Amino acid sequence: MTADVDRERPGARPAEGPGGGPGEQPGERPGRGAGEESGGYELFRDDWGIPHLRAADALTLARAQGHATALDRAWQLETERHRVLGTSASHLGAEAVDWDRFVRRARIADTARRCFDRLAPETAAWVTAYADGVNEGLAEGAERAPEFAAVGLAPGRWEPWTPLGVWLSTHILFAGFPTKLWREEVARRLGEDRMTLFATDGPGTAGSNGWLLTGARTATGAPLLAGDPHRFIEDPGVYQQIRLACPEFDVVGLAVPGIPGIAHFGHTGHVAWAITNAMADYQDLYQERLRRTPDGGVEALGPDGWYRAHAHTETIEVAGAAPEQVEVIETDRGPVIIGGDPGAGETISLRYPPRVTGELGFDALPALLRARTVADVDTALDRWVEPVNVVLAADTAGSTLHRVAGHVPVRPYANRLRVVPAEDPAYAWREGETVPLPRTEADGPAGIAVMANERGLAAPLGVEFAPQHRACRIRELLGADTDWTSDAQAAVHTDTLLASARQLLSLLAWAPALGPAAERLRDRLLRWDRHMDADSTDATLYARLRTDVVHRLAAHPALKGVTGADDPWRSAAYPALFRPWLAAVPRIGYALESLLTVGLLPYEDRLALVAASAEAVAAAADETPPAPWGELHRLSPWQALPDRTPDASVGSDAQAIRPGVAGDHDCVLSTSSVPGVTDLFARGPAARYVWDLARREDSRWAVPFGASGVPGSAHHRDQTPLWARGALAPVVTDWNLLHRTTPHRTTHCRTEENPAMTAPTEPAASATPALRPAVHEQKVEGFGTVRLVPVDPAADAELLHGWVTEERARFWGMADHTREQVREIYEFVDSLPTHHAYLALRDGVPAALFQTYEPDADPVGECYDVRPGDFGIHLLIAPAEGEGAVKGYTEALLTAFIAYVFSDPAHLRVVVEPDARNEKALARMVRVGFELGPEIKKPEKTARLAFLTRAALGLA
């Protein structure tokens, strides 16, 4: 893996060489863009460590995807496999028992086996190939993942059905069936007419955004598709940026580790698609009546009387504690997930489509990879089952799609609301029937389609939806322009307007008889622009006011029935796993806008409650001035095991690992804290993407952490600063701009019938620099067009040897090198993921050698305190074409070089370290804007550090 070059090859950290670059003997890996037959697949990575896989056919590619994922995400994959089997507690301890008990009782693994058995044969072979690849890579991946040693765990074996189990366990709670338990208790305690009081079109699980712009709204005339799936943020991330290429297809997108293909967010070069949760209701809870038989078996009462139910006992091993027994019972409705002791207490079963039909929708996955049109995507998604999603799609021809995909059974509406009696046939599913799913084109008069978990296309399918705020705000923002570009979508992703604040602030405006401090607070908040910006103290004050109001509402007699201390139904009757759905204060917090609007409390009571909160918050603010919102509103991701290894990508600073960000639950930037409980947030954008249908290479993406799941690796969390700022990384599609790693062999596709099947090759870089693809091109006024192209070590060796051996290049440190040594050095540079060499062309003529490096992967990083975002450069101007030929020659080149470096938002500071004796170079850096730093001692020279920040150029 390129991210772990130091671990793979001792001594790979480069010694000092050309201008501070590598000077060791070249490595064995082919260089950037070099295609090589591997007998299996090729693995490339971009500068963010994102895997790009290329293979001879789809089966080999599926195996490659599993293998590469195991190298990057071994601990994550094994965490998910154990979660499927209900064996997490065997190494994580007692805190994992609740989950293990649930997935065993819900029969997740058995359902996955059933669904695998019903796959089309070609899909089953494809999924099996992925699982085989995981098994081939797990041992190597586990060696790199310190978590295995920390808990004494050895990697297990993936079965062909395991990926289906991962998908099921990841999404089994997506439809929020525990909300029916909450509604049941609300109806019991507050009255039937209050059952949906807390629905308010705003459950705590919503927050995803997606939008489509037709060509009429874009600068290119081609559609744009963008968004950000909102989930619990997990570390490593639940979405994996990846590229999958073979002769049949070439797709970039966001995969789920453990799942082959690209299910939810992809771009084939011809068509792109994306989803949000439809908020549909498709899982039912049934109140069961059970009894024990004389032989120890279990009977259940159904519409036709008592019958024998399935029952068996399993053992949950618990690290550091005694094993626990769990009885697994299944009735004709489904597996029993609550209660189950016959004759003792409440017993509830879960009915969910994959368990009933044996279908999960995986046959759609390979079809999506092969899609070339919107119609292809539409046809593929006709096979989709779980979860139920709203989909947007667009293709290069300008066609668009807006539809719901998934399986929603036909049954009474009451099933959506609450727990229903198992023995009553009126509540049965109508066998074989599904609700027709809405679909339409997305190219209406406005040229805008939005999906944000709101009522809309999926309204007939659910009960609780997200408020309209995010959807309306996105439409408002997009409707302001008809010249949208992919880069401009970040401004939509990061919008922080909190429209849901209106009702609370309206009551504050009319609150009676406020004291002086509360009056000042009211005036301040009424002047506030309602943006939850990271640097806003007004946002913090609003959050304090909201929290106080939530707690006062919770204490109000009208809600005492669900908030009182005597709540055995939450602590005892239902499993602890469901408590997040059953906690009253978060429910009040998420429903606050509605609760302050509807007639639960008289208007005067609401005014008095808000007034009391204003007084309390104002008094507290006088004692403790509010900190900026971003200091309080920090990411708190889920981890199966806390970090134990320093992280090279962001350092050990806790704020870099757990960043504070802008946004709030009802903002487009939906970073969801729990109102009334905490300002920290665990749910938010699990990825961001922009799919450009004009030029796929103009697409953009980012994830909260990085491409690697290995703590301490360079790409473990290198995207965290990018994600926290709302910036996006480019989607690289040119193979010549990628870094090729050691080929990995697979054998299952090399058969007797087709022994020559190998990965396709890519032509070598052009010997003529002017004909090579450029990584950067810029016209510099009065100077010409500067293009940066990758160095071809073989083709450029003669040119570079002539430059570096001149007396004027003595500080470059290669005066006595032969042509062959120069070639070998740059072959080694080309094999590294952290160091790159480019020829700078001025109007097509080689003008300079430009090198970049990551300081924390270079000896210079041992000589000063490297900051996150530091990026090193070296520059050697060509002879004759230098400063004597054109005034300001070097400054003109530096203008282009620095623009290239800072085009990546992750680069915050340019670092140079010329020889301390090179006064000419130092003076030039100062003229450009660099600030001189200290001298440092290196083995071959004394260097002088100099730094150029974004702020110095006005880019911060």
d(CA 810, CA 819): 16
d(CA 271, CA 691): 9
Do 772 and 623 share a structural domain?
A: no
Task: Note whether residue 298 is domain-resident.
Answer: no
Q: Are 803 and 877 in contact (CB under 8 A)?
A: no
Q: Report the pLDDT value the prediction gives residue 938, as an integer from 0 to 100.
A: 80
Bridge partner residues of 313 (DSSP): 327
Give 146-149's long-range contacts (Cβ < 8 A, gap of 24+).
146/644, 146/645, 146/711, 146/712, 147/75, 147/640, 147/641, 147/644, 147/711, 148/74, 148/75, 148/78
Q: What is the CA radius of gyration of the chain?
A: 30
Handedness of CA 422, 387, 88, 161 (dihedral sign): positive
Q: Report the pLDDT value the prediction gives residue 941, as an integer from 0 to 100.
A: 79
Task: Note whether residue 837 is domain-resident.
Answer: yes
Q: Report the pLDDT value the prediction gives residue 905, as an integer from 0 to 100.
A: 82
Residue 874 belongs to domain with CATH number: 3.40.630.30
d(CA 665, CA 855): 38
Q: Of 602, 627, 652, which residue is a domain's last?
A: 627
Q: Report the pLDDT value the prediction gives residue 645, as an integer from 0 to 100.
A: 53
CA atoms within 13 A on the CB side of 234: 19
The SS3 assignment for 110 reads helix
Q: Report the pLDDT value the prediction gives residue 28, as an integer from 0 to 100.
A: 28
Q: Report the pLDDT value the prediction gives residue 956, as an integer from 0 to 100.
A: 63
d(CA 209, CA 453): 8
Task: Note whether residue 283 is domain-resident.
Answer: no
Task: Note whether residue 914 is domain-resident.
Answer: yes
pLDDT digits (tens, 9 = 90+) for 772-814: 778 898 888 878 889 999 999 988 988 898 888 887 777 777 8
For the chain, which residues score pLDDT lower than 50? 1-39, 568-571, 652-653, 743-765, 880-885
Residue with tokens 């622009």: 529
| Number of compact structural domains in the chain | 2
Q: Report the pLDDT value the prediction gives residue 294, as an integer from 0 to 100.
A: 94
Nearest 5 degrees, angle CA 78-CA 720-CA 952? 160
Distance set, CA 372 to CA 158, 365, 367, 379, 486 (Å): 32, 14, 10, 11, 21
Task: Note whether residue 693 is domain-resident.
Answer: no
Phi-psi map region of 705: left, alpha, beta (phi>0 left; psi -120 to 50 alpha) = alpha
Q: What are phi and psi of 752, to 5 degrees?
A: -60, -35
Q: Report the pLDDT value the prediction gives residue 22, as an integer from 0 to 100.
A: 31
Q: Report the pLDDT value the prediction gives residue 656, as an integer from 0 to 100.
A: 56
- The two tokens of residue 54 are 């290329």
Q: Report the pLDDT value the prediction gives residue 287, as an integer from 0 to 100.
A: 96
Q: Are 511 and 606 in contact (CB under 8 A)?
A: no
Q: Of 609, 627, 645, which residue is a domain's last?
A: 627
Task: Note whether residue 894 is domain-resident.
Answer: yes
Bridge partner residues of 54 (DSSP): 42, 245
Task: Note whether residue 142 is domain-resident.
Answer: no
The two beta strands, 420-421 and 284-287, are: parallel
- The two tokens of residue 766 are 């052009």
Q: Could you tell me the end-to-end alpha-carbon distance of the chain, in angstroms, rounded to an integer?
A: 33
Task: Note whether residue 383 is domain-resident.
Answer: no
Bridge partner residues of 449 (DSSP): 212
Q: Are 673 and 500 in contact (CB under 8 A)?
A: no
- The two tokens of residue 432 are 């074989």
Helix H segments across 564-645?
568, 579-582, 584-590, 592-595, 603-623, 629-632
Q: How many CB atoms lie within 10 A of CB 136?
A: 22
Q: What are phi and psi of 757, to 5 degrees?
A: -65, 115
Q: Of 606, 627, 648, which residue is a domain's last?
A: 627
Which residues constitute the domain of residue 869?
766-953
Q: Are 954 and 935 in contact (CB under 8 A)?
A: no
Q: Report the pLDDT value the prediction gives residue 18, as an integer from 0 to 100.
A: 42
